[in-house]
Amino acid sequence: MTGAPTAARDQPLIAIDVVPVSFAAGSGLRVATAPRQYAPYVGQEALPGVLLAPAERLADGARRALRSKAGIDAAAVRHLAQIGAFDGPERDPRSTAISVAFAAVVDPSAVGPGGGGAVDRPSSVWRLPDQGEPRLPFDHDTIIRAALEHVRTRIWRDLPLTRALLGEVFTSSDAAQLQTALTGTAPDPGNTNRALRTNPALVRADAPSSVAGRGGRPPVTWTWVD
């Protein structure tokens, strides 16, 4: 950074937009949106976002956006990663603004009616990322694509991210399903198993997966070594 001697004000606004991502065996990979409370696009579903506060850290702004716009408490946020800064004249009709985007891996139960949040929190909904039928306002579709690309290129390389997505205990099927959701193609089950077996960060959990599947041999459950 640097500056001319007199700081130029009238700079673009700094916005923080967050892509809440969750994964669970039953529901798959999902992205949360919440209806906008202010103009423009009032009532439309959009990513939770806020304007950066004067002395606020970027990551703190992301957490505030999750809390105030989507009702996702900080305790439900398992992982937070910056995606990048987005600009462009088309991204906001009001005034020029740049957006620093984050991807947030949150607990799957933290969204939707009956979730674990406060009673009066804004209602947010999970949606499947691929067929985002109703296009999102601003450049939020671009941001979601970038966030998913970020996750896709880091799965199994970034262990904290992977752990946040899969949770503390998960089955081989869960891992395969996550990979399928991210890459679009199902991995070979044999290779998936070998990878899980030889991964030094994982140990087999004896728990035989309480929930009964609809037929078939129950998958092995895994846990993370501490």
Q: Using the rule CB under 8 A, is 48 a contact of a copy of itself? A: yes
Binding mask 25-44 for a copy of itself (x = CB under 8 A): -----------x-xx-----
When CB distances are held under 5 to 8 angstroms depending on the partner's kind, the choice from DNA, a copy of itself, none that residue 131 binds is none
Q: How far apart are CA 174 and CA 25, in angstroms?
A: 6
- Identify which of residues 103 and 202 has a Cβ nearer to a copy of itself in the complex: 103
Residues 129-168 that bind a copy of itself (CB under 8 A): 138
Least distance CB 207 / DNA (angstroms)? 13
Q: Which of a copy of itself, DNA, none binds 225 (CB below 5-8 Å, type-dependent)?
A: none
Using CA atoms in the order 125, 66, 78, 73, what is the torsion angle rounded to 10 degrees?
-90
The Cα–Cα gap between 106 and 50 comes to 18
In 3D space, the residue among 35, 59, 39 whose CA is nearest the CA of residue 48 turns out to be 35
How many residues are there in the chain? 226
Residue 218's Cβ-side half-sphere holds a number of Cα atoms within 13 Å equal to 13
Binding positions for a copy of itself, 84-103, rule CB under 8 A: 84-85, 87-89, 91-92, 94-100
* 62-88 burial: b if 16+ Cβ within 10 Å, else e: bbbbbbebbbbbeebbbbbbebeebee
2 near a copy of itself (CB under 8 A): yes
DSSP string, 208-224: --SS--SSSPPPPEEEE
Quote the least distance from Cβ 219 to a copy of itself, whole Å. Answer: 33
Cβ closest to DNA, residue 44 vs residue 199: 199
Contact footprint for DNA (CB under 7 A): 171-173, 176, 187-195, 197-198, 208, 212-220
Which positions lie near a copy of itself, rule CB under 8 A? 1-5, 7-17, 36, 38-39, 46-55, 57-58, 65, 69, 82, 84-85, 87-89, 91-92, 94-100, 138
